Amino acid sequence: MARIELSSAKLKKDFIKKIAEISGQNIYECYQCGKCSAGCPMCFAMDILPSQVIRLAQLGLEDEIKASKTIWLCASCLTCDARCPKGVDLSRVMEAMRLLTLRKSKNHLEPSQMARPEVADLPQIALVSSFRKFTG
Amino acid sequence: MELSYYPGCTVKTRARNFEESAIAVMQTLGVTLAELPRWNCCGTVYSLADDDLIHHVAGVRNLMQVRNQGHSKIVTLCAFCYNTLHRANLVMKDQSDNRFGINSFMDEEKPYNGEVSVAHLLQVLRDDIGWEKIAARVTRPVNGIKIAVYYGCTLLRPQSAAVDNPENPVVLQNVVKACGATPVDFPFATECCGSFQVVSNREFVNERAYEITNSARKNGAELMLVSCPLCEFNLRQAQGKLKDKYPDFQAMPLLYFTQLMALAFGLSAGVNRFDLNSPETQVWLSQKQLMV
């Protein structure tokens, strides 16, 4: 990972407060055991691990999280939630982080840009879920 | 016995093989699945945000409709519908502030308080019918077939919505045993297939399918049994592409658990709609002389 800058200003950022408010989770409960990353079925495709996302969040490093694709690769399978020894539901933290972008009307998935044959092939359940998760 | 039944979008279209086999199997067991009139989309995924109540409304509307029809229970086939409806119901049952907010917004004559229970068909088979009664209906035992059962996520997580032990479920294995076949253990049974990521990251979902399918194969399975229409789609669509990428890859036949039951019950092949299954599955069924 590139050089990151820690500061008390970042720790006081609204970002941390908003995540707590939307997710209902206390991210400071996390003590970095890494069980979420160990069980995550999509982490082979992620640039930073789920446990690293929550560490960045604890430090208020919003830009670093937004520069990563990890939160958009989460499939909300809840394996992390099931296995967290501290009872932190990371899937809710990930959802809160996605919503902070989506609620600014910034779609992650642009339905109009999707290839027609691909859309025709997909079951509704996949499309509706994706629109729910990745559009504002 | 008649049970109120919620189909959902995919079961009514791409997964007709799931629905038609389920209705026929339940009929054989003396249960009529009566489709809920005027059902609407369940919302497909449960919202994970504390401040997002609007996305529970679609689910709650269905549950109100069940109550208004005079039923106290709704049965689903689709694992996504099960999960979303079940959890929306828990919101209405257990979270008084949110219940008040949703009821006030919906402004129906009679507020909803989570009176209806949401069950998956696997729970009905286990709890209301029982494995002995199911085994007694088997006329064409699918003996000797080694089957890896695949649960995926939404039947097991979160714990409050799990149809069985989330880390060590056995309900699908029990379906296999009741039918006379042999379940094989494999470590990916409860892992996620990549779910809706198939829309934007299909190549990653295909990698998941490769690992899951290979693991089932290595553990001796010749067939995988699924219970979720999205798992079925993801594993099925990956098979053709994986053969191009990994020449050693061996495709795996896939059946819904209700299709296996219909086979074991000796029901006519028409109820299974095998035309909607993968070509590999159809070839395998012919080889096993199970197409009739």
pLDDT tens for B210-248 read 999 999 999 999 999 999 999 999 999 999 899 999 999
Mark B164-202 as b/e (b = at least 16 C-beta within 10 Å).
bebeebebbbbbbbbbbbbbbebebbbbbbbbbbbbbbb
In a domain, A19, yes or no: yes
**CATH fold for domain B2-122:** Glutathione S-transferase Yfyf (Class Pi); Chain A, domain 2 (1.20.1050)
Is pTM beyond 0.90? Reply is yes
Range list for CATH 1.20.1050.140 in chain B: 2-122
User: Span B245-266, mean pLDDT?
Assistant: 96
Confidence band, pLDDT 50/70/90 cuts, at residue B141: confident
The ipTM estimated for the assembled molecules is: 0.94
The residue among A68, A93, A98, A97 whose CA lies nearest residue A78 is A93
Residues A73 and A96 in one domain: yes
- CB of B28 within 8 Å of a chain A CB? The answer is no
B144: three-class secondary structure by DSSP: coil
What chain B residue is nearest to A99 in terms of C-alpha separation? Answer: B49
The verdict on a CB contact (< 8 Å) between B49 and A123 is no
List chain A residues with CB under 8 Å of B229.
123, 125
**Judgement on whether residues A96 and A76 belong to the same structural domain of the protein:** yes
Judge whether residue A3 has pLDDT over 90. Answer: no
Residues forming CATH 3.40.50.11810 domain(s) in chain B: 130-287
Q: Give the type of residue at B155.
A: L
Assess whether A63 and A98 both reside in one domain.
yes
Please report the pLDDT score of residue B255 as a whole number: 98
Residue B260 in contact with residue B181, Cβ under 8 Å? Answer: yes
Q: Do A122 and B199 touch (CB under 8 A)?
A: yes
Q: Express each pLDDT in A33-45 by its tens digit.
A: 999 999 999 999 9
CB-nearest to A133 from B196, B229, B230 is: B196
**Chain A residue closest in CA terms to B211:** A41
Closest A-chain CA to B14: A123
Per cent of chain B over pLDDT 70 is: 100
Query: Quick check: B55 contacting A, CB < 8 Å?
Result: yes
- Percent of chain A whose pLDDT exceeds 70: 99
**Chain B: residue nearest A119 by CA?**
B199
Cα distance between residue B132 and residue B172, in whole Å: 15
The answer to whether residue A41 sits within a structural domain is yes
Please tell me the predicted confidence (pLDDT) of residue B240. Answer: 84
Q: Is residue A1 part of a domain?
A: no
> What pLDDT shows up at residue A13?
83
Q: Nearest to residue B164, comparing CAs of B82, B229, B91, B219? A: B82
Q: Hey, of B48, B78, B233, which one would you mutate to test binding to chain A, going by the most A CBs within 10 A of its CB? A: B48
The predicted-structure confidence for B50-97, as pLDDT tens digits, reads as follows 999 999 999 999 999 999 999 999 999 999 999 999 999 999 999 999
Q: Tell whether A39 is covered by a domain.
A: yes
B 74-93: CB under 8 A from A: 78, 80
The 3-state DSSP class for residue B4 equals strand
The total number of residues shown for chain A amounts to 136
Largest Cα separation within chain B, whole Å, is 61
Looking at the predicted structure, is the pLDDT value of residue B148 above 70?
yes
Over residues B166-205, the pLDDT tens digits come to: 999 999 999 999 999 999 999 999 999 999 999 999 999 9
Which of A125, A129, A135 to substitute to test the interface with B, most B CBs within 10 Å?
A125
Instruction: Give a yes or no: residue A2 inside a domain.
Output: no
Helix (H), strand (E) at residue B225: strand B223-226
pLDDT in tens, A52-92: 999 999 999 999 999 999 999 999 999 999 999 999 999 99
Per mean pLDDT, which range of A1-15, B92-106, B142-156, B196-210 is the poorest? A1-15
The DSSP bridge partners found for residue B3 are B33
Both A16 and A82 in one domain: the answer is yes
Task: Give the Cβ contact number of residue A83 at 10 Å.
Answer: 17
Question: Is A77 near chain B, with CB under 8 Å?
Answer: yes
The answer to whether residues A57 and A119 belong to one domain is: no
The CATH number assigned to the domain holding A46 equals: 1.10.1060.10
A85 to chain B, any CB pair closer than 8 A? The answer is no
Whether A65 and A89 map to the same domain: the answer is: yes
Contact A19, A97 (CB under 8 A): yes
Please check whether residue A98 touches B, CB under 8 A. Answer: no
Residue A1: pLDDT band by 50, 70, 90 thresholds?
Answer: low
Query: Which residues, at least 6 apart from B92, have a Cβ–Cβ distance to it below 8 Å?
Result: B56, B60, B63, B98, B99, B102, B112, B113, B114
Average pLDDT over residues A127-133: 96
How many domains does the structure of chain A reveal?
Answer: 2
What is residue B291's DSSP assignment? -
Q: Which of B15, B44, B153 has its CB closest to that of A77? A: B153
- For residue A25, give the chain B residue with the closest CA: B50
- Residue A100 CB partners (closer than 8 Å, separation 6+): A15, A18, A19, A22
Q: How far apart are CA B138 and CA B234, in angstroms?
A: 30
Chain A contacts of B197, Cβ < 8 Å?
A: 42, 73, 75, 130
Q: To which H or E segment does residue B150 belong?
A: strand B146-150
Chain centre to alpha carbon of residue B124: 13
Task: Count contacts between A and B (CB, < 8 Å).
Answer: 128
Q: B48 and A91 in contact by Cβ < 8 A? A: yes
Contact A43, A94 (CB under 8 A): no
Give the strands of the sheet with B223-226, arranged side by side: B182-184, B146-150, B223-226, B254-256
- Average pLDDT along chain A: 95
B230/A contact by beta carbon, under 8 A: yes
Range of the domain at A119: 109-136
Q: Which two tokens stand for residue B115?
A: 């009176």
CATH of B130-287, one of 3.40.50.1220, 3.30.420.40, 3.40.50.11810, 2.40.40.20: 3.40.50.11810
Task: Say if residue A130 is in the same domain as residue A64.
Answer: no
Reading the block at residue B113, the tokens are 């308080």
